[in-house]
A and B are shown apart, each in its own frame.
Chain A
Amino acid sequence: METGGFHGYRKLPNTTSGLKLSVSDMNMNMRQQQVASSDQNCSNHSAAGEENECTVREQDRFMPIANVIRIMRKILPPHAKISDDAKETIQECVSEYISFITGEANERCQREQRKTITAEDVLWAMSKLGFDDYIEPLTMYLHRYRELEGDRTSMRGEPLGKRTVEYATLATAFVPPPFHHHNGYFGAAMPMGTYVRETPPNAASSHHHHGISNAHEPNARSI
């Protein structure tokens, strides 16, 4: 059995069947990639894996198609159409994007011997991997989020993943990284550092108690 390593998520797919339709091949390759990087039970030795079993799990591996299409419609002219294969492909691209950035952010955490991936780690990884244009809008987005929700929401966000984060860890998570490099991202990090210092984690406001729990609703509806 193939075991996932630090770079398991980057492993190349191996097509095991030449008789499948292209869509099936893509789905199979995606499943194999996921198997290589996680201990899920989908078999990567059988080209004719349990389709029904994997189908249920795949719903958890992609963003809901309705949300994705709504975002695409914002960009496309009204008369544009989107083929079904394009919808499936972009769903897979989004999941790959999340895994790609998360892998880079996680490697940085490990180098610095930290256990929690923070928003700053994600922004750093995006800058390193070439998504510099995203840093500024995301930084402003994060500022606005912290203004509206306060620090308390991020603490309540943890139970969703069945993890408990001590206050000390949260305090660490909000400290800007040391400035060993000189690039646009760390310039943008300065305001965040200033903002965080002005608002201690323990003094968080609680205007939106259910901000995070409501995030479950679209999930339930899409399933």
Chain B
Amino acid sequence: MRQAGAYSGLLCGGVSGRTGPHSLPLARIKKIMKNSGEDVKMISGEAPIIFSKACELFIEELTRRSWIMAIQGKRRTLHKEDLASAVIATDIFDFLITLVSSSESHAVGGATNVMEVETIDCS
């Protein structure tokens, strides 16, 4: 099943893991995967390659939604608050709420965040 020329060009740029315009380093991805849990054992060579494209899609989506927040605020500079607003407004980004809100909500206080993220079943 062949793809369109333009799409093929886009894919070729990143597929081989070379230093294409949008490639992400595979070794770094693999290291982050290994550090995600003590029980992560072996990782197939294709998994980081899938992640290099997946992270591109993730960054694009998060950037797009954050920029909408910045525009609504009549600003042309993307701030951390825009990222936080985009995360709060998007269901699939729930796992990031703690990360983006902890520095905002507890920049001064030392309160423990009691958000029940772990109990949410996303299936």
What are 10 pairs between A and B in contact, CB < 8 Å? A72-B59, A72-B78, A83-B78, A89-B84, A90-B59, A115-B42, A117-B33, A140-B7, A143-B1, A222-B25
Interface residues of A (CB under 8 A from B): 4, 6-10, 12-18, 20-23, 25-26, 29-30, 34, 37-40, 60-61, 63-64, 67-68, 70-72, 74-76, 79-83, 85-86, 88-90, 92-103, 105-106, 109-110, 115-119, 121-123, 126, 128-131, 133-134, 137-138, 140-145, 148-149, 153-158, 160-161, 163, 165, 169-170, 173, 191, 208, 211-212, 214-219, 222
- Does A122 lie within 8 Å of B50, measured CB to CB? yes
Report the Cα distance A212→B42, complex, angstroms.
17
Residues of A within 8 A of B96 (CB): 93, 96-97
Residues of B within 8 A of A142 (CB): 46, 49-50
- Does A64 lie within 8 Å of B17, measured CB to CB? no
Residues of A within 8 A of B100 (CB): 89, 93
- Does B49 lie within 8 Å of A145, measured CB to CB? yes
B89, CB-defined interface residue at 8 Å:
no
- Does B19 lie within 8 Å of A214, measured CB to CB? yes
Closest 6 CB pairs of A and B: A157-B45, A154-B45, A99-B36, A26-B103, A22-B107, A119-B46
- Does B102 lie within 8 Å of A72, measured CB to CB? no
Q: How far is the CB of B28 from chain A (nearest CB, A)?
A: 6
- Does B83 lie within 8 Å of A216, measured CB to CB? no
Interface residues of B (CB under 8 A from A): 1, 3, 7-8, 11-12, 14-19, 21-51, 53-60, 62-64, 66-67, 70, 76-80, 82-84, 87, 91-92, 95-96, 98-100, 102-104, 106-115, 117-118, 122-123
Residues of B within 8 A of A165 (CB): 42, 44
